[in-house]
Amino acid sequence: MLVISSPSVRGYVPAGLRALRAFSLGLLAVPCYAQAVSSADVGRPASVSRPDVQDEAIRPFTFHASDEALRDLRRRIAATKWPSPELVSDASQGVQLATTRELARYWEKDYDWRKVETRLNALPQFITTIDGVDIHFIHVRSKNPNALPVIITHGWPGSIIEQLKIIDPLTNPTAHGGKASDAFDVVIPSLPGHGFSGKPTDLGWNPVRVAHAWIVLMNRLGYTRYVAQGGDWGNAVTEQMALIAPPGLLGIHTNMPGAVPPDIAQALLADDQPPNLSADERPAYDQLKFFYDNGLGYAQEMSHRSQTLYAMDDSPVGLAAWLLDHDARSYELIARAFAGQEEGLTRDDILDNITLYWLTNTAVSASRLYWETAHNVPTRQIAFFAPTGVQIPVAVSAYPDELYTAPRSWTEQAYPKLIHYNRMAKGGHFAAWEQPQSFSEELRESFRSLR
Contact of 406 with 396, CB cutoff 8 Å:
yes
Could you tell me the CA-to-CA distances from 282 to 288, 397, 407 in Å, in that order? 10, 18, 9
pLDDT at 381: 52
Q: What is the pLDDT of residues 141-178, one digit of tens each?
A: 999 999 999 999 999 999 999 999 999 999 999 999 99
Percent of the chain predicted with pLDDT > 90: 84
Q: What is the pLDDT of residues 107-136, one digit of tens each?
A: 999 999 999 999 999 999 999 999 999 999
Q: CA–CA distance from 351 to each of 94, 245, 310, 324, 332 (Å)? A: 19, 37, 20, 10, 16
**pLDDT, position 375:** 86
Give, for 294, the enclosing helix (H) or strand (E): helix 281-294
Residue 437, pLDDT above cutoff 60: yes
Helices (H) and strands (E) counted in the chain, each on its own, are 18, 9
- On whether the CB atoms of residues 162 and 233 are closer than 8 A, the answer is no
Assess whether 33 carries a catalytic annotation: no
Check residue 55 and give its pLDDT. 87
Q: Where are the alpha helices (DSSP H) in 341-402?
A: 347-360, 363-375
370 assigned to active site: yes
- What's the mean per-residue pLDDT of the chain? 89
The DSSP string of 297-338 is HHHHHHHHHGGG-HHHHH-HHHHHHHHH-S-HHHHHHHHHHH
| Residue of 131, 232, 348, 401 marked active site | 232
Check whether 237 has a pLDDT greater than 70: yes
Asked whether the predicted pLDDT for residue 138 surpasses 60, the reply is: yes
Handedness of CA 305, 311, 316, 321 (dihedral sign): negative
Residue 54 confidence (pLDDT) above 80: no
Based on the residue annotation, tell me whether 232 is a catalytic residue of this protein: yes
Residues whose CB falls within 8 Å of the CB of residue 11, separated by 6 or more in sequence, listed in order? none
Query: Which of 154, 194, 212, 429 is an active site residue?
Result: 429
First to last CA, the chain: 52
At 378 the pLDDT is 55
Mean pLDDT value of segment 135-140: 98
Residues 285, 370, 399, 415: which is the catalytic one? 370
Residue 152 phi/psi, 5-degree rounding, is -115, 125
Q: Could you read off the pLDDT of 340-363 as tens digits, one per residue? A: 999 999 999 999 999 999 999 999
pLDDT tens readout for residues 276-316: 999 999 999 999 999 999 998 999 999 999 999 999 999 99
Assess whether pLDDT exceeds 60 at residue 31.
Answer: no
| pLDDT score recorded for residue 36 | 31
Q: Confidence class of residue 51 from pLDDT cuts 50, 70 and 90?
A: very low
pLDDT of residue 29: 41
For residue 409, pLDDT beyond 80: yes
Taking 3-state DSSP, the helix, strand and coil percentages for the chain, each rounded to the nearest 5, stand at 50, 10, 40
pLDDT on residue 11? 36
- Rounded to an integer, the average pLDDT of 389-417 is 97
What is the model's pLDDT at position 28?
46
> Cα separation of 258 and 102, whole Å?
36
Amino acid at 221: L
Residue 240 above 80 pLDDT? Answer: yes
Closest C-alpha to 401, from 428, 436, 435, 431: 428
Bridge partners (DSSP) listed for residue 341: none
Mean pLDDT, rounded, for 380-404: 89
